[in-house]
């Protein structure tokens, strides 16, 4: 069967328009801070509606390409109603101005649920992300450590988590991080802060089975 040039063009246009909503759900975007552009990855919910509020979670990512997603939602097609942001939030306590610029940019462009954000940390990057949240707690609704913990040697500093919901998710075969999570959880509760802990049976340090739905279900526990 032969196709005319017009038929081929029409077919290409139909395919493009059919896939556009799906391609549009995930992209590499940028914001400006002090005259420089900084990239971040963003994935919108299926059937995204700009008039509605959505919970927004920011996870550690180098954000160098559209596929540079944060670890616990790598490959996710359905965000379960979340807006997922990947950015260099690790080791960011000396870049709080930059992080605030990102958060304000997101609030200006999306209806952020409660005008506050969620975040996640794991393993070696966790202490610095907790530090970031403690430095600007008014911007955050919740933080989930999978497995991740703050430096828990300074109780006065931990008090800066007041108003932020904290949860620890750790495997029972991950002995060092489980001990640290238990200690941090007890310290936070002792300080009157909101903290929960889940110990996953047979869980190891890198809990790949939680990637996607398992993690997003847990993050949802901290929503308003």
| Tens of pLDDT, residues 132-143 | 999 999 999 999
Chain centre to alpha carbon of residue 110: 15
**Looking at residue 4, what is its pLDDT?**
54
Is the predicted pLDDT of residue 19 greater than 60, yes or no?
no
What confidence tier does 67 reach under pLDDT thresholds 50, 70, 90? confident
What confidence tier does 63 reach under pLDDT thresholds 50, 70, 90? very high
35 by DSSP, 3-state: which? coil
What confidence tier does 199 reach under pLDDT thresholds 50, 70, 90? very high
Does domain 25-222 bear CATH number 3.40.50.1820?
yes
Q: Which residue has the higher pLDDT, 178 or 23?
A: 178
Q: CB under 8 Å to 52, separation ≥6 — which residues?
A: 111
Is the predicted pLDDT of residue 21 greater than 60, yes or no?
no
For β-strands 117-121 and 140-146, DSSP reports them as parallel
Q: Where are the alpha helices (DSSP H) in the chain?
A: 5-23, 96-109, 126-135, 155-158, 175-190, 213-219
Is the predicted pLDDT of residue 33 greater than 50, yes or no?
yes
17-38 burial, b for 16+ CB within 10 Å, e for fewer? eeeeeeeebbeebebebeeeeb
In this prediction the pTM is 0.88
Rounded Cα gap, residues 8 and 3, in angstroms: 6
Mean predicted lDDT score pLDDT of the chain: 90
pLDDT of 104-141, one tens digit each? 999 999 999 999 999 999 999 999 999 999 999 999 99
Closest CA to 195 of 214, 222, 218: 222
Dihedral angle, C-alpha 108, 88, 182, 151, nearest 10 °: -110
Q: Judge contact between 98 and 30, C-beta under 8 A.
A: no
Q: Where are the domains of the chain?
A: 25-222
């Amino acid at each position: 069967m032969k196709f005319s040039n017009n038929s081929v063009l029409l077919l290409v246009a139909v395919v493009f328009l059919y896939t556009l909503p799906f391609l549009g759900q995930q992209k590499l975007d940028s914001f400006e801070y002090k005259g420089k552009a900084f990239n971040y990855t963003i994935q919108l919910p299926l059937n995204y509606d700009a008039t509605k509020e959505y919970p927004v979670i920011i996870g550690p990512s180098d954000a160098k390409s559209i596929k540079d997603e944060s670890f616990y939602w790598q490959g996710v097609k359905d965000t379960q109603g979340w807006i997922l942001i990947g950015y260099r939030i690790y080791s960011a306590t000396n870049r709080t101005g930059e992080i605030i610029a990102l958060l304000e940019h997101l609030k200006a462009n999306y209806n952020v649920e409660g005008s506050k954000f969620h975040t996640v940390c794991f393993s070696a990057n966790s202490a610095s992300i907790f530090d970031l949240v403690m430095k600007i707690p008014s911007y955050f609704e919740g933080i989930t450590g999978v497995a991740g913990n703050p430096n828990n040697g300074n109780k006065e500093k931990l008090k800066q988590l007041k108003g932020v919901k904290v949860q620890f998710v750790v495997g029972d075969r991950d002995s060092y991080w489980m001990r640290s999570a238990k200690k941090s959880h007890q310290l936070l509760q002792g300080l009157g802060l909101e903290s929960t802990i889940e110990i996953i049976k047979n869980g190891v340090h890198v809990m790949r089975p939680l990637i996607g739905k398992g993690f997003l279900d847990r993050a949802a526990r901290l929503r308003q």
